[in-house]
Amino acid sequence: MSAEEISEKGYSLENWNILKNGEIVGVLSNTEWELYNGQLTKEISIKTSFTSDEDMKEIARFVYAKFPDCKIEVNDDGGNSFPK
């Protein structure tokens, strides 16, 4: 996701929170290191209020733009963690 698209869609990071147009829509819930076939990869897991595939892919693209050397995982929180 380009800086222009990030701006157009209203995404930003505030500490561990992911905001869209100033509203919290996700949180960087944890990080971990994976070692597979001799390769170390850092993974960032995200909990989000988004439930549609398109919205979840979009938030993954945003976080990947901020952390391009990391593997990104997005999980919906079942509507339990974020205001409606």
Dmax (CA) of the chain: 43
CA gap 48, 82 in Å, rounded: 8
pTM score, two decimals? 0.84
User: What pLDDT, on a 0 to 100 scale, did the predictor assign at position 24?
Assistant: 92
Domain segments of the chain as ranges: 3-76
Tell me the C-alpha distance between 39 and 9, whole Å.
34
Q: Quick one: CA dihedral 49, 56, 59, 32, positive or negative?
A: positive
Q: Which residues contact 12 (CB under 8 A, 6 or more apart)?
A: 6, 18, 19
Round to whole Å and give the CA distance between 5 and 47: 22
Dump pLDDT digits (tens) for 17-51: 999 999 999 999 999 999 999 999 999 999 998 88
